[in-house]
């Protein structure tokens, strides 16, 4: 079974805590992916305090990696996952669910939360093949992730990027990537892209300032096979 991407859900972050609502979980979902995009808190690492589908104070999502911008070190793209079978994973086939999220510090200049489910991934400790993220020293209008490991043809890589005022590009042109979701939240432009069988992912921006990104690769449950069907949503909570 190849990896398939569910409908994409999202919400502009305008307060804390905040919610993504109206979520439907695929019957065969194996992992939920959560992205926080935009200029927010300073410093590196995990900056989610609460993340759960059951309206409690637990933090169920696991941190993957996060990118910082070139001037202030603020987070601009953070990636998290929650696997099927682990505490807090929502009921398969559940409809109209709500994901509650709280950050550890304040947000700036506009932020977006993006959520989607994958089917056909492994659910053991090999799920994340590898990841990479920008750092404060990455001051260039184009960034390409380093080698993320042994990414097979049915494994799936993602890149998420955000920049203050100008537009990150994770479209297929020039890199083989496909845009999954993109938009503008206040003064922040953000985008998410994916590509099967790729161990290096790229984003470009209009100018080399105040941008950052994160890339990671997800392992398919079996090797070989054709890429899965991608289902995306044109709008949600104000639109992508």
Q: Determine the pLDDT at residue 108.
A: 62
* Domain of residue 212, residue span: 4-218
- Is there a domain that residue 41 lies in? yes
At 61-118, the pLDDT tens digits run 999 999 988 777 777 899 999 999 999 999 999 999 999 999 887 666 678 999 999 9
CA distance linking residue 146 with residue 199, whole number of Å: 8
- Is there a domain that residue 229 lies in? no
Q: Determine the pLDDT at residue 195.
A: 94
Mean pLDDT within 12-25:
92
- pLDDT band of 231, cuts 50, 70, 90: low
Q: Determine the pLDDT at residue 140.
A: 78
- Is there a domain that residue 170 lies in? yes
- pLDDT band of 40, cuts 50, 70, 90: low
Whether residue 171 contacts residue 202, with contact meaning beta carbons closer than 8 Å, is answered with no
Count of domains in the chain?
Answer: 1
DSSP secondary structure string for all residues of 171-240:
SSTTT--EEEEEEEETTEEEEEEEEET-S--EEE-SSSSSEEEEEEEE-BSSSSSPPPPB---S-STT--
- Is there a domain that residue 200 lies in? yes
Lowest mean pLDDT among 21-35, 39-53, 83-97, 128-142: 39-53
- Is there a domain that residue 15 lies in? yes
CA distance linking residue 58 with residue 61, whole number of Å: 9
At 102-153, the pLDDT tens digits run 988 766 667 899 999 999 999 999 999 999 999 877 777 888 999 899 999 9
- Is there a domain that residue 236 lies in? no
Q: Determine the pLDDT at residue 239.
A: 40
Inform me whether the pLDDT recorded for 235 exceeds 60: no
CA distance linking residue 45 with residue 38, whole number of Å: 15
Which stretches of the chain are DSSP H helices? none
Q: Determine the pLDDT at residue 233.
A: 44
- Is there a domain that residue 230 lies in? no
Count CA within 13 A, CB hemisphere, residue 152: 18
**Residue 239 CB coordination number (10 Å):** 11
Query: Could you tell me which residues are beta bridge partners of residue 124?
Result: none
CA distance linking residue 66 with residue 206, whole number of Å: 21
Shortest CA distance to 128 belongs to which of 118, 138, 113?
Answer: 118
DSSP SS3 for 19: strand
Q: What share of the chain is helix, strand, coil (3-state, %, to 5)?
A: 0, 45, 55
Query: For the chain, give me the number of helices (H) and strands (E)?
Result: 0, 16
- Is there a domain that residue 106 lies in? yes
């Amino acid at each position: 079974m190849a990896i398939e991407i569910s409908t994409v859900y999202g919400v502009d972050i305008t307060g804390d805590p905040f919610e993504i609502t109206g979520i439907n979980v695929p019957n065969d979902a194996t992992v939920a992916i959560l992205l926080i995009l935009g200029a927010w808190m300073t410093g590196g690492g995990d900056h989610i305090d609460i993340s759960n589908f059951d309206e409690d104070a637990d933090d169920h999502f696991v941190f993957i990696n996060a990118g910082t911008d070139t001037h202030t070190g603020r987070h601009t793209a953070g990636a998290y996952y929650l696997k099927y079978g682990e505490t807090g994973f929502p009921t398969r086939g559940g409809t109209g669910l709500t994901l509650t999220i709280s950050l550890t510090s304040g947000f700036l200049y506009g932020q977006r939360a993006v959520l989607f489910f994958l089917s056909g991934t492994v659910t053991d400790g090999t799920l994340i093949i590898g990841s990479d993220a920008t750092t404060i020293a990455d001051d260039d209008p184009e960034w390409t992730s380093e080698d993320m490991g042994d990414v097979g043809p049915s494994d799936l890589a993602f890149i998420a990027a955000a920049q203050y005022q100008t537009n990150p590009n994770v479209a297929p042109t020039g890199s083989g990537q496909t845009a999954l979701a993109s938009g503008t939240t206040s003064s922040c432009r953000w985008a998410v892209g994916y590509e099967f069988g790729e161990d290096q992912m790229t984003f470009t921006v209009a100018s080399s300032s105040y941008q950052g990104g994160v890339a990671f690769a997800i392992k398919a449950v079996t090797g070989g096979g054709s890429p899965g069907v991608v289902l995306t949503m044109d709008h949600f909570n104000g639109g992508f």
